[in-house]
Every structure is written in structure tokens, then in C-alpha cells.
Amino acid sequence: MIMGNIVSPGQDMGGSARGLYIGFGKRILDILFAAAALLILSPVVLACATAIYVDSRGSIFYAQWRVGRNGVPFRIIKLRTMVRGADTQGSRLTASGDPRITRVGRILRRTKLDELPQLLNVLRGDMSLVGPRPELPEYVAKYTARERKILDVKPGITGPASLTYIDEETVLARSSNREQFYINHLMRDKLATDLAYCRTISLSNDVAIILRTAASLFHVFRGQKSPVPQDHFEAANKDATTGQFGLSLIEQVAQKGTHAEFEGKL
């Protein structure tokens, strides 16, 4: 059952069938799909791991602290796409053309193959197949009270906001101040999109999102870019302001060490 005020099986979800899916079916779907996908895609993961090992020094896997359901932190697992120690060499945000991204990393990020290890996060129960993307602790610290309701739901590998901004790095690359643009524009829009999803969680919606994700990735593999809302390209070229939140919160979170990252073989 989803906690908080986002979903109420007897009200917002519109029936016991949806409530049953939220309480049990979603987790069953996660386990079955993630296990099957890992088995089928294991040769792809092995090929990617080999390419990473040959291409650059450092570990094959990369784990980063994210905020999960109910605000509980967990380590999201990815294939490494950046140089060793990249988190100490620049912004926490990554845009297209970032020099920290390796040659193999550029391919993995463009095709989203670096996300495949997150199927392990799904099996462990940290994540779901479909849901809001888990955010870094320092950005969660900037959520409003309403936006924090997103934490009532288990984060996902894909979701409506992930599909809308499947080419997010290109949007960020066009911004003169990526940090402020992300906080004041991109993050707010993604949260609004995912909050709307949380109010209508159902098996049919989740299956539709999974199929749309597969279709989007198919276009990516064919070399076609998925569309991103034009207004965000325009907003990216404007100077953003920090508004009521301020950058001090990032510094406070950093001082507490809640955004610690590590690299290592898992």
C-alpha cells in the first residue's frame, strides 16, 4: 500500500483492483520482470562491463546515494560512465559534452545501458520498474512540503518524467547556469509530472509506460532523438534564480555528508 496522501485505494485509485495492484501486484511485476530482464540481458551487461574495463581506469560499477521511499537513502547501481573521481571534479549535474564522460560512457548514457544494473535495485526492493526517478539528497532538501509527497512512492527506473526528459543532458547543456535551471525549472516540472502519475497508479498505466520506454529506447538506438519540451530549451538560455530555497541548503547537506558517493566493485 502506498503511504501518505498521494494514493488512497478506495478513493483516488478508483477501486479495489487498483488497490490490490498497489499493495501486491506491483511488487510481483517488479520481481518477475527484473529477474527475467537480468537473465536475458546479462550478455549485454557483460559486454558493457568489458568495454568499460578496456576503455578507462576505475571500477566497472558505480554506486551513488539517492533518496528512496519514505526518505530512506539507498545506493543506486549503475555502470560507470565517467572518469574515476568525477564526483570531485565538477558539478553534480551532468550535461552533454561533459569532459568527465568517457568514450564508452557516452554510448552507455545515450542508450541508457548504464541503467541496467538498477534491475538489482528493483529485486532488492529499493526501486520499482515504474515510478519517480530517485533524486540526490541535496536536491530532495529543496522539495516543498507538497513535493515531498513524492517520497510516499517507491522510486522507479522509468516513469512519465523520465520519458519526457529522456534527453535531459541536452537540455542542461544549453543552460548558462545548470544548477539553478535544474532546481527552478527542470526538477519542478519533473516532480509535477511524477506526482500526477502517483495519483493514477495502475497496472495498465505501468505497462503503457514500460512499452513507451521500450519504444523511446528503440528510437535512441536508431540514432533518433526523443523530443523534449521546447519551452525548456528556451528557459535553459535564461538566467535562473534560486528563489526561496537558496544554495545554502546544498552546502548544509554537503556538510552533513548525506550526498556521499563511492566507487567500487560490487
Q: Where are the alpha helices (DSSP H) in 13-58?
A: 16-20, 26-55
Q: Give pLDDT, residue 86.
A: 85
Examine residue 100 and state whether it is found in any structural domain, yes or no.
yes
Examine residue 3 and state whether it is found in any structural domain, yes or no.
no
218-247: per-residue pLDDT in tens? 877 666 554 545 454 444 444 433 333 333
Examine residue 5 and state whether it is found in any structural domain, yes or no.
no
Examine residue 8 and state whether it is found in any structural domain, yes or no.
no
Number of domains in the chain: 1
Examine residue 6 and state whether it is found in any structural domain, yes or no.
no
47-62: per-residue pLDDT in tens? 999 999 999 999 999 9
Nearest to 187 by CA among 219, 147, 237: 147
Residue range(s) defining the domain that contains residue 75: 16-263
Separation of CA 122 from chain center: 13
Q: Give pLDDT, residue 224.
A: 54
Q: Give pLDDT, residue 230.
A: 47
Cβ proximity of 109 and 101 under 8 Å: yes
Examine residue 55 and state whether it is found in any structural domain, yes or no.
yes
- Output the tens digit of pLDDT for each of the chain's 266 residues: 344 445 443 344 445 777 889 889 999 999 999 999 999 999 999 999 999 999 999 999 999 999 999 999 999 999 999 998 887 787 888 888 889 999 999 999 999 999 999 999 999 999 999 999 999 999 999 999 999 999 999 999 999 999 999 889 888 888 889 999 999 999 999 999 999 999 999 999 999 999 999 888 887 766 655 454 545 444 444 443 333 333 333 333 333 333 333 333 33
Examine residue 4 and state whether it is found in any structural domain, yes or no.
no
Q: Give pLDDT, residue 223.
A: 62
Grid coordinates 511485476 are at which residue?
29
Q: What is the DSSP code (8-state) at residue 58?
A: S
Decide: residue 181, CB within 10 A, 0-12 exposed, 13-18 middle, 19+ buried. Answer: buried
Q: Give pLDDT, residue 217.
A: 84
Examine residue 42 and state whether it is found in any structural domain, yes or no.
yes
pTM of model > 0.85: no
Q: Give pLDDT, residue 219.
A: 75
> Grid coordinates standing for 107?
554510448
